[in-house]
Structure 1
Amino acid sequence: MRYAIVTETYPPEVNGVALTVRGLEEGLRARGHEVAVVRPRQAGEKDSKALHELLVRGAPLPRYPGLRFGFPATRKLAAAWRDSTPDAIYIATEGPLGWSALRAARRLGIPAATGFHTRFDEYMRDYGAAFLQRTALGWMRRFHNRADATLVPTRELADFLRGERFENVFRLPRAVDTSLFDPAKRDPELRRAWGVGDDGLAVIYLGRIAPEKNLQLAVRAFRELQKRQPQARFVWVGDGPSRQKLAQENPDFVFCGVQRGADVARHFASGDLFLFPSRTETFGNVTLEAMASGLPTVAFDYGAAREYLRHGVHGAAIRDGDDEGFVSAAARLGADRELRATMGAAARQAVAMLRPEQVAADFDDALTRLADTRRAYASAASA
């Protein structure tokens, strides 16, 4: 089969959408398919020499340094897809490039699936524009309902979108590479660089350091934990617009910047407790990565935590809005080394059977069904 993937974020950008899209692309290639990728040029990048990549013009995303969006490119996409027509298209992002891809696909009669990766409606609240939440949700509904299917990672999100009149919503589960994210990657030298000994406590946050991640709650939880464990260190892995202010206000925090690949796994495995206070994720890949690394996790009970994290067994899954419960759980786990060890081992076991290869097979099956359905319609129309 010949597939095309359209995305406005892609590695070396580090975020959940970019890494998920690359994983889906690599999974399809491993299954023997031809995959073309359409994405914006990144800063300083010229046209790609890779035959499978089509680069379009883009620009930095306002208030989100390091990320870009693609300009409209309907004509360019239509011309490329006339010359080499995909059997199906996957559109990962709802920006101008994504809309262009939908228009070109509809014009050429190519089946298209979209991915619901980001809760832009909830971002409106975190960036001071809560009055636009319903408008943003309506805009996303119009986008996704123009596709033949919308793929989401959890049952919870699928039910929510159907209730909001999104059509043709299907669940595509996620997985984690347990050979990469593994407690065996624990690095005593890295812990010492953080100022944490073998018996010390390293609390980890890994992700975008930005307003929508609800980071002040993580700070508050750590300070409460620190009352019981004064030598604990809070280690931050990632970057974003809130990093500078956070570092100025908390000079004792350890900031490691953006990490990739094996280095991400090493940082996770070298921690002891993962705090994830975000309420705006569609999934939260980092939850699975932390669990695979043997870290008990404190997170709100939705997304990946709702699907895989069992409260009191793998960490704490806190009811949405219960900030006090989040703080209390972090302090309790921080003070109990034996409980953390038991929960971390259980968390690793809970995700041990997840396989990225199965996600690729399910993704392949979803796109194949769209292609087969479109061919059947075309054949019936011709008859």
Structure 2
Amino acid sequence: MQPSDLRVALFSGNYNYVRDGANQALNLLVGHLLSRGVTARVYSPTVARPAFPPTGDLVSVPAVPFPFGRGEYKVARGLPGATRRDLVAFRPNLVHVAAPEWLGHRAVTWARRNGVASVASLHTRFETYPRYYGLTALEPVVEYLLTRFYGRVDRVLVPGQSMADVLAGWGVRTPTSIWSRGIDHARFDPGRRCPEWRRSLGVADGELAVGFLGRLVKEKGLGVFADVATELTRRGVPHRVIVVGEGPAREWFAAKVPGAVFAGFQQGDDLGRAVASMDVLFNPSVTETFGNVTAEAMAAGVPVVAARATGTVDLVEDGVTGVLVPPTDTGAYADAIARIGADPALARAMGQAARARAARQRWDTVGDAVLAAYLETLAARAQARV
């Protein structure tokens, strides 16, 4: 089978209406597939004013706002008749599901009933989310549901070995393939560092700029970040927190870190400038499966201090490209950030090593890896029928 023989139906809970690392990766993937001659069609909830234009053909799926104060996200109401008819007319030979919500479950069920191969990609550790909203008791339930979901497809695409290990630990026996992430190396480059931009935010030349990059939601480890910023201040470590991003927890976070400067949402070359202008990226999130922001900071030659968690452990070499810390160890985080800030030679060496490591992350390479996984999945099904 050739790539031009593929007809891929991609199901996403958020393809382009709110910008995040997962849906940007999906759009880049669809663009890559189309460039290789694959026929692709995307099914996702939509809004009147999306964050960015979609890549490829996008079919809108009816949806309702997500509960628990997160109405910026939408939840599709299964696979309604009109969507199912469009899917039948499209005649996919492979279904790719990017989120384990109702639409994803129904798409997998449709694929199984119609003898169509199915692949799921894992972007977020949803089983960790309940702890950030006072619902820790639900984590085992979510883990059970995720285990069942990933056990129903033909293949799971994981961003790195650490997530493959997590799935195996849950008892998922579905074959896995690695779908890493690429980086725009022209955008994320040390040469984009801008002292004038730092000064415009009120960051003094001798001040350690500790950066946060991402959506401002509690599950990104904002509570731990705030505690560490408080500890750095208590120790008298001269620093300034630079927050790059927006989100519903902005006011909450601003109250927790009163000395922080908020650069807001950045994109394009402005984003590259913001990242390169940090002295250290601090990423305490444990919900990542890859860690796009970590990889982008590394490409920009910025040392990373991060939680020893999935995704990050596949990217950061402890003591070489940055420092990995037990996820809630406030003191250890503060130690690492203070040490990098006090030792310019160490910071420079870590930044150079980080950039060299990030050079491996290329979008065309990782896109071809997904294409190979698709073809391997279809070949395995064909072999099983013999």
TM-score (normalised: structure 1): 0.91
Q: Which residue of 1 aligns with 2:3?
A: none
Q: Which amino acid aligns with 1:92?
A: A
Q: Is 1:13 equivalent to 2:23 in the alignment?
A: no
> 1:151 is matched with which residue: 145, 157, 172?
157
> 2:7 is matched with which residue: 2, 9, 18?
2
Aligned length: 376
Q: How does 1:118-133 map to 2 (within 5 A)?
A: 118-133=124-139
CA distance 1:203–1:49, change in 2 (3 Å):
closer
CA distance 1:264–1:70, change in 2 (3 Å):
farther
Contact 1:222 1:331 in 2 (8 A): no
CA distance 1:261–1:9, change in 2 (3 Å):
farther
Q: Which residue of 2 aligns with 1:217?
A: 224
Q: Which residue of 2 aligns with 1:160?
A: 166
TM-fit CA distance, 1:44: 5.1
Q: How does 1:332-347 map to 2 (within 5 A)?
A: 332-347=339-354
CA distance 1:80–1:50, change in 2 (3 Å):
farther
Q: Deviations over 1:250-274 (max 9, x none)?
A: 3321112222233322211111110
Q: Is 1:80 equivalent to 2:106 in the alignment?
A: no
Q: Which residue of 1 aligns with 2:98?
A: 92
CA distance 1:291–1:373, change in 2 (3 Å):
same
CA distance 1:214–1:76, change in 2 (3 Å):
same
CA distance 1:314–1:224, change in 2 (3 Å):
same
Q: Which amino acid aligns with 2:84?
A: A
Contact 2:11 2:107 in 1 (8 A): yes
Q: Which residue of 2 aligns with 1:192?
A: 199
Contact 2:111 2:118 in 1 (8 A): yes
CA distance 1:87–1:179, change in 2 (3 Å):
farther
CA distance 1:318–1:277, change in 2 (3 Å):
same
Q: Deviations over 1:190-242 (max 9, x none)?
A: 21221124444221101122222222322232344444443x32111122232
Q: Which amino acid aligns with 1:3?
A: V
Q: Which residue of 2 aligns with 1:180?
A: 187
Q: Deviations over 1:85-119 (max 9, x none)?
A: 12212100111111121122223221110112222
Contact 2:195 2:205 in 1 (8 A): yes
Q: Which amino acid aligns with 2:246?
A: D
TM-fit CA distance, 1:158: 0.9
Q: Is 1:253 equivalent to 2:260 in the alignment?
A: yes
Contact 2:16 2:46 in 1 (8 A): no
Contact 2:61 2:83 in 1 (8 A): no
Q: Determine helix, strand or coil for the equivalent of 1:11.
A: coil
Q: Is 1:101 equivalent to 2:84 in the alignment?
A: no
Q: Is 1:328 equivalent to 2:361 in the alignment?
A: no
After superposition, the CA RMSD in angstroms is 2.2
Hey, what's the Cα distance between the residues in 2 that align with 1:248 and 1:78? 47
Q: Which residue of 1 aligns with 2:72?
A: 66
TM-fit CA distance, 1:50: 8.5
Contact 2:97 2:107 in 1 (8 A): yes
CA distance 1:188–1:50, change in 2 (3 Å):
closer
TM-fit CA distance, 1:52: 1.6
Q: Which residue of 2 aligns with 1:41?
A: 46
Q: Is 1:272 equivalent to 2:272 in the alignment?
A: no
Contact 2:230 2:257 in 1 (8 A): no
> 2:308 is matched with which residue: 284, 301, 304?
301
Hey, what's the Cα distance between the residues in 2 that align with 1:212 and 1:50? 28
TM-score (normalised: structure 2): 0.90
Instruction: Report the identity percentage.
Output: 33
Runs of 5+ in structure 2 lacking a partner? 1-5
Q: Which amino acid aligns with 1:7?
A: S
TM-fit CA distance, 1:43: 4.5
CA distance 1:259–1:11, change in 2 (3 Å):
farther
Contact 1:65 1:240 in 2 (8 A): no
